[in-house]
Structure 1
Amino acid sequence: MKGSEVEMAVRTIKVIMNGVTGRMGYRQHLVRSILPIRDEGGVVVGDDRIQVVPVLVGRNADKLAKLAEQHGVGEWTTDLAAALADPEATVYFDAQVTSERTGAILAALDKGLHIFTEKPIAESVADGQKLVTAAEKAGVITGVVHDKLYLPGLVKLKRLIDLGFFGRILSVRGEFGYWVFEGDVVPAQRPSWNYRAEDGGGMVLDMFCHWNYVLENLFGRVDAVWAKAVTHIPERWDEQGRSYPATADDAAYGIFELEGGVIAQINSSWAVRVDRGELVEFQVDGTHGSAVAGLFDCRIQPRAQTPKPVWNPDLPTDQDFRSQWDSVPDLEDYPNGFRAQWEQFLRDVDAGRPHGYDLAAGVRGLQLVEAGLRSSDEGRRVELKELA
């Protein structure tokens, strides 16, 4: 040891990672979160570090072996029960298809493991509540991925809210989606199970869980919803080039009533061509100003700089409206959102304290899913207290 250098104590957390051969589990959670944390020596906590040791779990032994060799991971298995029985493992992570999630998490909770999981956490509110009850009985720490809250654009938007930039917030308008190819001529860029309801697919089930945590953490909890779920593309082709009927909704159009009177409208579609700056954007309008936030950028127009357009359908407009907005500066470094939440969760596990976005938050997302689907099926406004 030289000079003021202090040797850091290292504590290790062994993480069982189930579903890492899938797109999200591999790219965001393994490659962009856990492996960088491991390779950089762990998560810094005061004068100490929390190092992670991943164990890869999945159904395809060949894929797992290749991933383990490629990334220098020492342990992998197709036997989830054996992995859960490892006394050194303390965290279970799930990025499987939704239909497989509930049983696997219950098995992990039965072994007393802490839980970090993708969403939706289950296929129904009832199953989600089973997970919450089991976690409370086990006395473990749970976390549900809330990645969008860690995105630079939404971090900047939250800062504007906290600074009172908007005055009284009136409304939120969200646009999300892109064209997912059918798979016949151009291969689809999303897994085929996403478009089969029997496999846990569907836009409402997938994205309303996201919109719930974005809305409740930035603007207020959802009280009621009007929604319409649609399957615009009825036939698609899977990874083997075989046609199949799309039984899940690929678009959803929702109006959400929030506590405090804010109205949010969010269109979500995998059958839309993009004419916006980013794949998702939220416009927030308030009495004192407005903002448009995407994944990375956030632009504002305060009240004092708001133009005064006049409606005249007989003449082309002479205003460049998009040039009348100013960008919010980057005031900090923004890490990958998934990694940022992983680090926060690992610190919470290490400290033995609850994680801010737990399984109960995941259940609230499922409540919005069920309310949205009921609204679409019954053609009416649905209050979330109907599902309580």
Structure 2
Amino acid sequence: MPEGTVRIVMNGVTGRMGYRQHLVRSVLAIRDDGGVLRPDGSRLQVEPVLVGRSREKLTDIARRHDIEVVHTDLDAALAEDGASIYFDSQVTSERKKAILRAIAAGKHVYTEKPLAESVAEGLEVVDAARAAGIVDGVVHDKIYLPGLIKLKRLIDSGFFGRILSVRGEFGYWVFEGDLIPAQRPSWNYRAEDGGGVVLDMYCHWNYVLEHLFGGVEAVMTKAVTHIPQRWDEQGNVYEATADDAAYGIFELPGGVIAQINSSWAVRVDRKELVEFQVDGTHGSAVAGLFGCRIQPRVCTPKPVWNPDLPTDQDFRSQWEQVPDNQEFGNGFRAQWERFLLDADAGKRHPYDFASGVRGLQLVDAALKSSAEGVRVELAGTGR
């Protein structure tokens, strides 16, 4: 193995996200570009080691992408010479035990979210990582994306004045699987397999809100299962036991109120699959994953409500696009590069397991709110 190369044990790359975003567009792209540039000007090269349940699928991926080593045994993969990092993008129900084995083997760990299936399991992983002294990280890809980078820049510049509210819309129609095959795996809709839009998406919303506005202080949510019956990858009908939509209100520092709708049972009438509108006393912005449009106070129109006449204003044309005045890379790759450099230097990654636990705390609070019909306050992780 060439000097300055780190081997990464990658578990779960046969899935869509693990394959496309983490293997192909992140680790292999870094490899093919000659590695990550260190602060001293040298380069840290990467080499993936694939592990999973299907040797056939892994071998096919390895053949297509010039990867030398595949395993179906996790312990054998972790024992590979020079393999100092473990990455996990398996189904949520398999994650905790695999991460604990990697920690026991002395590996730095980078993982998809949710970190675990519960706060208690997440704290168990946090404590194991702290005791072992490893560098740990959880994927926070969305804050590295162009639209949210632009939004953060607006916040930091004082563009909004006093921020009043946030409105988020996320989702799209996931086909039931009978007429047209579903574009998400069936386990996403079975609670017993770690599915559910709250568990999946509220971990994202927690770090997005925390990064932009501060930690969530309280939440009210209604989680529902709009589509009670779906068809799996083999065409078999099954009962959808997990929530496929959630309607949430989040209380943030300074009296800011966020409302976020998350749904896999909604048809899209917006420019991107997720958009956040931020309103402030001096201006507003609408940010997606890539674009960000603004309307400052001095350019705000003055509509008048008149139900007797059709409006003569084209409201969407009254917003201005924030320019792409810097180069934006793939968000998953950007965080991979940050984690690799942190692990190489033995430095704490800013989006560590504790941040993943805070996401799980929000999930628990939201599910409690939905089940009991109450507002739930959040506390820190204590870690």
* TM-score of the superposed pair, with normalisation by structure 2: 0.98
Q: Deviations over 1:352-371 (max 9, x none)?
A: 11111000000000000000
DSSP-derived class of the 2:34 partner: coil
Contact 2:358 2:381 in 1 (8 A): no
Q: 1:387: how far off?
A: 8.1
Q: Is the partner of 1:222 in helix, strand or coil?
A: coil
1:4 aligns to what?
Answer: none
Sequence identity percentage:
73
The aligned residue for residue 18 of structure 2 is: 25
Unaligned stretches of 5+ residues in structure 2: none
What one-letter code is carried by the residue in structure 1 that aligns with 2:174?
Answer: V
**How many pairs does the alignment contain?**
380
Correspondence 1:34 to 2:32: no
Q: Deviations over 1:207-260 (max 9, x none)?
A: 000000000010010010000100000000011111100000000000000122
Q: What are the equivalent positions in structure 2 for 1:330-345 lying under 5 Å apart? A: 330-345=324-339
Superposed, which structure 2 residues align to 1:111-122 within 5 Å?
A: 111-122=105-116
Q: Is the 8 A contact 1:371 1:387 kept in 2?
A: no
The residue that corresponds to 2:131 in the other structure is 137
**Pairing 1:301–2:328 present:** no
Gaps of 5+ in 1: 1-8
- Structure 2 CA distance for aligned equivalents of residues 287 and 17 of structure 1: 47
Aligned-CA RMSD value: 1.1
Q: Which residue of the partner structure matches residue 14 of structure 1?
A: 7
* 1:6 equivalent in structure 2: none
Deviations 1:22-52 (A, max 9, x none): 1110010001100010011101113200100
- Equivalent residue, structure 2, for 1:281: 275
| Structure 1 segment 1-388 matched on structure 2, within 5 A | 11-45=4-38, 46-385=40-379
1:1-27 CA-partner distances (Å, limit 9, x unpaired)? xxxxxxxx9611110000000111001
Give TM-score, length-normalised by structure 1: 0.97
- Aligned-residue offset at 1:86: 2.5
Matched to 2:355, the amino acid is A
Q: Following the alignment from structure 1 to structure 2, what is the Cα–Cα distance between the partners of residues 247 and 42?
A: 43
Q: Distance in 2 between matches of 1:10 and 1:338?
A: 25
Q: Residues 349 and 240 (structure 1 numbering): CA distance in 2 closer, same or farther, change over 3 Å?
A: same
Q: 1:87 offset after TM fit, Å? A: 4.1
Which amino acid is the alignment partner of residue 216 of structure 1?
A: E
Check conservation: 1:143, 1:358, Cα contact below 8 A.
yes
Equivalents in 2 of 1:157, 1:121: separation in Å?
Answer: 26
CA distance in 2, matches of 1:167, 1:252: 30
Contact 2:354–2:381 (8 Å) recurs in 1: no
Distance 2:248 2:185 in 1: 24
Contact 2:138 2:356 in 1 (8 A): yes
**CA distance in structure 1 between the partners assigned to 2:346 and 2:97 by the alignment:** 25
Deviation at 1:83, TM superposition (A): 1.0
Deviations 1:93-142 (A, max 9, x none): 00000000000000000111001000000000000000000000000101
